[in-house]
Amino acid sequence: MNDKMKRKVDLEKVINKYKAEKGGIISVLQEINREYGYLSEDALKLVAKKLDVPLIQVYSIATFYTAFSLKPRGRHLINVCLGTACFVKGGNRILEKLERELGIKAGETTKELRYSLDTVHCIGCCSLAPVIRIDEDAYGRLKQEKVPEILKKHK
């Protein structure tokens, strides 16, 4: 079985897992997005077919919620918190620094697919503002000049 086929089998497994659940379509998309890092056109089509819902509906869900991506994402996901506390303490300065360091804007992915840069409205670490999260690790009380060394930890 080649890689592509294997993926398809896995996708069907995911779909079947939630098929019987009322309103399970969001769970299906969440799991696919988690596994593959994004929702490919093929995946959306397969979900539509297997769950017997119009493709436009799957697409509208996939584009409404910010957790879903329609493009491949980088190996490391950087989330800059722009909640109120982080904002008051200069979170946007940290974002600008990251944008300069990585040469991309928020919402984009670096060419070599290493980093994706996103913003998030509050991860609930307000007492440590300003905060960023790279994959599972949160870094609090940040200053612009600390950004390069933190990036080095996630290569």
Partner 1 sequence: MKIKNLKDLEELKIKGLESLYPKRTKINVGLGTCGIATGARAVFDSIADEIEKQGIDALVGKTGCLGFCQREPLVDVWQPGKSRIIYCQMDPEKARDLVTGLAQGKTRKEWALCRMEEEEFIIENTKKKYSIKEKDGKDIPLYREIPFYRKQKKIALRNCGFMNPENIEEYIARGGYFSLARVLSRLKEEEVIEEIKNSGLRGRGGAGFPTGLKWKFCRDARGEPKYIICNADEGDPGAYMDRSILEGDPHSVLEGMVIGAYAIGSHEGYIYVRNEYPLAAQSVERAIRQAEEYGLLGENIFNSGFNFRIRISQGAGAFVCGEETALLASIEGKIGEPRPRPPFPAERGLWDKPTNINNVKTWANVPVIIARGADWYSKMGTAKSKGTMVFSLVGKINNTGLVEVPMGIKLREMIYDIGEGIPEGKKFKAVQTGGPSGGCIPSELADLEVDYEKLTQAGSMMGSGGMVVMDEDTCMVNVAKYFLNFTKDESCGKCTPCREGIKRMLEILDDISKGKAKETDLELLETLARVVKDASLCALGGTAPNPVLTTLRYFRNEYEAHIKDKKCPAHICPDLIHYSIDKEKCTGCGLCLKECPQTAISGEKKKPHSIDKSKCIKCGVCFEVCNFDAVEID
Alpha-carbon span 75 to 109, nearest angstrom: 10
Q: Which residues are CB-neighbours of 68 under 8 A, at least 6 positions away? A: 29, 30, 33, 38, 39, 61, 62
Return the bridge partners of 77, or none.
Answer: 116
Q: How far is the CB of 114 from partner 1 (least distance, A)?
A: 20
Give the x/- contact pattern for partner 1 in 69-108, rule: CB under 8 A. -------------xxxxxxxxx--x--xx--x--------
Q: Which is nearer to partner 1, 9 or 124 (CB)?
A: 124
Which residue number, 1 or 64, has a Cβ lying nearer to partner 1? 64
Q: Residue 110's closest CA among 80, 77, 147?
A: 77
Of residues 11 and 131, the one with the C-beta less far from partner 1: 131
C-beta of 93: minimal distance to partner 1 in Å?
6
Backbone angles phi, psi at 136, to 5 degrees: -95, -10
| Contact pick of 3, 23, 54, 111 for partner 1 (by CB under 8 A) | 23
Find the binder of partner 1 among 60, 71, 113, 135 (CB under 8 A).
60
CA–CA gap between residue 93 and residue 72 (Å, rounded): 27
R_g (Cα) of the chain, nearest Å: 18
- Contacts with partner 1, residue ranges (CB under 8 A): 22-27, 29-30, 60-61, 64-68, 82-90, 93, 96-97, 100, 120-129, 131, 138-140, 143-145
